[in-house]
């Protein structure tokens, strides 16, 4: 996997811009029903026709035209034009286009933007005729705002625990741990018996640290909001339990707050810190740095269980916009992108992991020594709620996590402070 995947995920979780906030204050475009196009209820059985405009970010935008050659061959009456957009410019481009009603027919959209764009009335609800039962449940949830689904998951990622298999053997660990006690014991053994400076690398706050904390909190039974997504639920015993466990790695000196940032691969290859939690892109990064011998020593296992084993699910969705004048063909494109064969072919071209579970049976994925573990974790992975103000709340949460890890703020105070900040920001719905 490439570092470009990691970069786009970080950028996709950036804070809301002033433009977006202003848009939200202006009300939803759907508040003007006389000008809003009718939502699509079903997709026709005939081939796609006419012209379609598509936006996609980063390397996906660069690679997508090649994939769509097959779609256009199967639908000779359609012409698809893909516009690649840099991730760091994408959010502003979308919100500006929403205001100007100059959106494409369809687009790749970051999962954390779904609540905002739906609230602005920009997204066409997923037609009932599109079968969504084959997607990973957590990924499908990222398309839902309230009780309505918008678009479909396109590709996914989740987080696992990486470890050095050779150093684990040196530490006497022959089987990866499955629960919290086992993970703690393994990190200690990596220090005491394998010579590591720290047993595990955990992010001590800063942008995106909530994505590493929440797998422990979710596994302890915590939730971020009430079932109706109207109120936040940070200040609960379950959240505090997850925060307490996370903090214990720092207080027991099993994880460090003094590690240089953005050097996880180098620390892993050197054996200085032989464990960390991250996504599938790190396999390629480590192999590039450490070579084939190091690649053979990369091991992964699911987030250890407390009440459950629940990791974070990220990725991107594919949506159709309400302003599209060719919605039927746009949804035919989305359907085609969701086909297991298409998803498997896209993986071969891009290394983006399929959102459709049956696509993981393709030999290119099933025969890989590590990828099936990611697929297993995706069966129970979760995403944050698709609410308008999640980005602002996440930034506040990251700041409190830093106090927890670096300043010794108690789990109770961390949960209480995050709840207060989140409540003051509101869900935006």
d(CA 93, CA 211) in angstroms, rounded, equals: 26
**Token pair listed for 339:** 């086909």
Q: Is residue 265's pLDDT more than 90?
A: yes
pLDDT tens by residue, 272-309: 999 999 999 999 999 999 998 999 999 999 999 999 99
Question: What mean pLDDT comes out for the span 135-159?
Answer: 95
Phi and psi dihedrals of 268, rounded to 5?
-70, -45
Instruction: Dump pLDDT digits (tens) for 409-429.
Output: 999 999 999 999 999 999 986
**Span 163-175, mean pLDDT?**
97
Average pLDDT over residues 323-336: 97
Domain covering 3-158+313-378 assigned CATH 3.40.190.10 in the classification: yes
pLDDT value of residue 366: 97
The mean pLDDT of 331-358, rounded to a whole number, is 96
Torsion of CA 236, 239, 241, 246, to 10 degrees: -150
The third-level CATH classification (topology) of the domain covering 160-312+386-425 is D-Maltodextrin-Binding Protein; domain 2 (3.40.190)
* pLDDT of 38 strictly over 90: no
Average pLDDT over residues 110-132: 94
pLDDT digits (tens, 9 = 90+) for 82-95: 999 999 999 999 99
> Residue 121 carries which DSSP code?
T
How far lies 43's CA from each of 171, 172, 356, 366, in Å? 57, 57, 20, 32
3-158+313-378 and 160-312+386-425 have identical folds: yes
The residues with which 123 forms a beta bridge, in sequence order, are 321
Task: Please report, for the chain, the start and end positions of each structural domain, with discontinuous segments joined by +.
Answer: 3-158+313-378, 160-312+386-425
Q: What is the pLDDT of residues 242-260, one digit of tens each?
A: 999 999 999 999 999 999 9
28 pLDDT tier (thresholds 50, 70, 90): very low
Q: Does the pLDDT at position 22 exceed 80?
A: no
- Which of 169, 384, 362 is CA-nearest to residue 274? 169
Q: How many angstroms separate the CA atoms of 221 and 416, rounded?
A: 17
């Amino acid at each position: 996997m490439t570092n470009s995947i990691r970069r786009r995920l970080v950028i996709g979780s950036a804070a809301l811009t002033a433009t977006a906030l202003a848009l939200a204050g202006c009300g939803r475009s759907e508040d003007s029903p006389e000008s809003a196009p009718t939502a699509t209820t079903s997709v026709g059985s005939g081939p796609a026709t006419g012209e379609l405009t598509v936006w996609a970010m980063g390397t996906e935008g660069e690679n997508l035209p090649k994939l769509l050659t097959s779609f256009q061959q199967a639908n000779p009456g359609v012409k698809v034009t893909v516009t690649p957009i840099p991730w760091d410019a994408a959010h502003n481009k979308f919100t500006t286009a929403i205001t100007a009603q100059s959106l494409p027919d369809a687009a790749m959209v970051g999962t954390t933007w779904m609540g905002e764009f739906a609230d602005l009335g920009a997204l066409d609800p997923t037609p009932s005729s599109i079968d969504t039962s084959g997607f990973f449940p957590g990924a499908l949830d990222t398309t839902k705002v309230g009780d309505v689904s918008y678009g479909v998951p396109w590709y996914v990622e989740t987080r696992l625990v990486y470890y050095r298999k050779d150093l684990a053997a040196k530490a006497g660990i022959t089987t990866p741990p499955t629960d919290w006690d086992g993970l703690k014991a393994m990190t200690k053994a990596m220090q005491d018996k394998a010579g590591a400076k720290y047993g595990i690398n955990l992010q001590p706050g800063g942008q995106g640290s909530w994505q590493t904390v929440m797998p422990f909190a979710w596994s302890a039974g915590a939730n971020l909001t009430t079932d109706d997504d109207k109120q936040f639920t940070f200040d609960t015993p379950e959240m505090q339990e997850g925060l307490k466990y996370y903090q214990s790695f720092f207080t027991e000196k099993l994880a460090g707050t003094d590690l240089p940032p953005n050097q996880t691969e180098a620390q892993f290859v050197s054996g200085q810190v032989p464990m960390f939690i991250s996504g599938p892109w790190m396999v390629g990064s480590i192999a590039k740095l450490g070579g084939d011998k190091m690649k053979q020593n990369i091991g992964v296992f699911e987030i250890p269980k407390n009440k459950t084993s629940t990791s974070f699910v990220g990725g991107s969705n594919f949506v159709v916009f309400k302003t599209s004048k060719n919605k039927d063909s746009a949804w035919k494109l989305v359907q085609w992108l969701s086909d297991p064969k298409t998803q498997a072919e896209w993986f071969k071209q891009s290394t983006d992991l399929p959102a459709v579970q049956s696509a993981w049976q393709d030999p290119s994925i099933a025969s890989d020594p590590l990828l099936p573990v990611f697929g297993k974790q995706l069966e129970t992975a979760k995403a944050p709620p698709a609410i308008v103000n999640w980005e602002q709340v996440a930034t506040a949460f990251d700041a409190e996590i830093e106090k927890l890890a670096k300043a010794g703020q108690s789990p109770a105070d961390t949960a209480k402070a995050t709840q207060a900040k989140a409540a003051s920001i509101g869900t935006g719905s």
